Amino acid sequence: MKNFFLAFCLIFSVVFTSCVQKGGNTNGTTNTGDTIKVGVYGDTTGATSSFGQSTKNGIQLAFEEINAAGGVNGKKLEMLFEDDQGTPEKAKTVISKLINQDKVVAVLGEVASSNSLAAAPVAQEAKIPMISPSSTNPKVTEVGDFISRVCFIDPFQGAVMAKFASNTLKAKTAAILGDNSSDYSKGLTQFFEQEFTKLGGTVITKQTYAQKDQDFKAQLTQMRDQKPDVIYVPGYYGEVAIIAKQARELGMNQPLLGGDGWDSPELWKLGGAALKPAYISNHYSADNPAPEIQNFVKAYTAKFSVAPDSLAALAYDSAKVLADAIKRAGGTESAKLKDAINSTKEFAGVTGKITLDASRNAVKPAVVLELNPAASKFEFATTIYPEGMTPPTTTNTNMNAMAANSNTMNSNSNMNSTANTANSNTNTNTTK
Ligand code: PHE
């Protein structure tokens, strides 16, 4: 009887322990309770691999800083990174692995909107918060309340370039060459045209291509004959650099306009001198002399031997926003964490103050950068604010960067515009 009882106890304890282990951790990695696992996914191989690499770097730097300062609620943040090779199918596969196998408490990613759109339903379904650092297509956060982002969205970004084209470059006509394999590019095409038309301009021709195309001469030749004042190319760096080269080869010297998708250290190698004149909308300027930005630029450059592009800056901010939310939520319970993320207000990021609106999108100004291929540099041109946002009038703002970069401005400079008050998205470009 005694032996039987002992055997029973033994069997019970083995079964019980293994049950507990299963419930707590099924992936075989150590989860001793003193780390918080965060999934990160993006492309470190494939056509837009600098997007994923910068994102990974930005998050790594943020986690190291947070951990060096004691972590979050006494626990260290641990990044589990998955390469999705920049495809929507792989994005969906790797986010499922991070959530279901690795049991991450939250996910940071993706960059390209089409990849975020493929992966977001997995996070929403599993009720695991996903913060996209840099996907700007409006549909991404519409997937559900567990999906948010720390960047502005494309109805704003498209309007920013339309305003710059119309108000600053005085363009009356535009051509658009968009990537019809990307949700990002399709959205920007639509939003740019809407605003440009509203401002009295005309989009005289719209042409498309697909990612990985190499020859854009047929589309460009058609455009050339219509002599648009500017050409809007809302694509990713790999294709837009070749488009710039081929346009110049065809004798087209108009300003080329683009969006954040042009931002990559690779752009200069691929496009060279053809990338002038050209302007893009973007999330921040690494030249902004505000000390918090320069500290970040210094730390990042020291660590990775390259200046942080906007992807790195947004990724860094997404990691810090997540850490702040875990702190405010008092832990990682998913519903509480989601609520804490979604109520982020006035968080001081390197890409600006981050406040999420009711649709979980950040409401922030955009910068317009002028390309300087001779120096392989994006140079600050102006800041454009969303409707109703009052531009700051004190120090530590883009105004300093403006002053520092005043030589890059053209004759109808916007230098004084940020000193104006409300509704500066129109004021910004009215200074004659
Ligand atoms: N906004 C782009 C998209 O949604 C991604 C991107 C962000 C690319 C910032 C470069 C820099 O697809």
Query: Does ligand 1 have an atom closer than 6 angstroms to the CB of 179?
Result: no
Q: How far is the CA of 331 from the centre of ligand 1 (A)?
A: 30
Q: Do the domain assignments include residue 232?
A: yes
* C-alpha of 6 from chain center: 60
Cα 10 to Cα 6, 20, 338: the distances in Å are 6, 15, 42
Tell me how many domains the chain contains: 2
- The protein residue whose alpha carbon is closest to atom 10 in ligand 1 is 261
Same structural domain for residues 227 and 371?
A: yes
Q: How far is the CA of 214 from the centre of ligand 1 (A)?
A: 21
Query: Does ligand 1 have an atom closer than 6 angstroms to the CB of 113?
Result: yes
Same structural domain for residues 38 and 120?
A: yes
d(C-alpha 223, C-alpha 362), whole Å: 35
Give the domain extent around 107.
11-152+289-354
| CATH number of the domain residue 202 falls in | 3.40.50.2300
Q: Do the domain assignments include residue 249?
A: yes
Same structural domain for residues 374 and 307?
A: no
Query: Does ligand 1 have an atom closer than 6 angstroms to the CB of 263?
Result: yes
Q: How far is the CA of 169 from the centre of ligand 1 (A)?
A: 24
**Prediction pTM value:** 0.86
Same structural domain for residues 182 and 216?
A: yes
Tell me the pLDDT of the chain (432 aa) as tens digits: 445 544 444 444 444 444 333 333 333 333 457 899 999 999 999 999 999 999 999 999 999 999 999 999 999 999 999 999 999 999 999 999 999 999 999 999 999 999 999 999 999 999 999 999 999 999 999 999 999 999 999 999 999 999 999 999 999 999 999 999 999 999 999 999 999 999 999 999 999 999 999 999 999 999 999 999 999 999 999 999 999 999 999 999 999 999 999 999 999 999 999 999 999 999 999 999 999 999 999 999 999 999 999 999 999 999 999 999 999 999 999 999 999 999 999 999 999 999 999 999 999 999 999 999 999 999 999 999 999 888 887 544 444 444 333 333 333 333 333 333 223 343 333 322
Same structural domain for residues 47 and 146?
A: yes
Q: How far is the CA of 226 from the centre of ligand 1 (A)?
A: 30
Query: Does ligand 1 have an atom closer than 6 angstroms to the CB of 135?
Result: yes
Kindly give the number of the ligand 1 atom that is closest to the alpha carbon of 309: 11
* C-alpha of 79 from chain center: 18
Same structural domain for residues 148 and 19?
A: yes
d(C-alpha 44, C-alpha 255), whole Å: 31
Q: How far is the CA of 190 from the centre of ligand 1 (A)?
A: 16
Same structural domain for residues 273 and 308?
A: no
Q: Do the domain assignments include residue 392?
A: yes
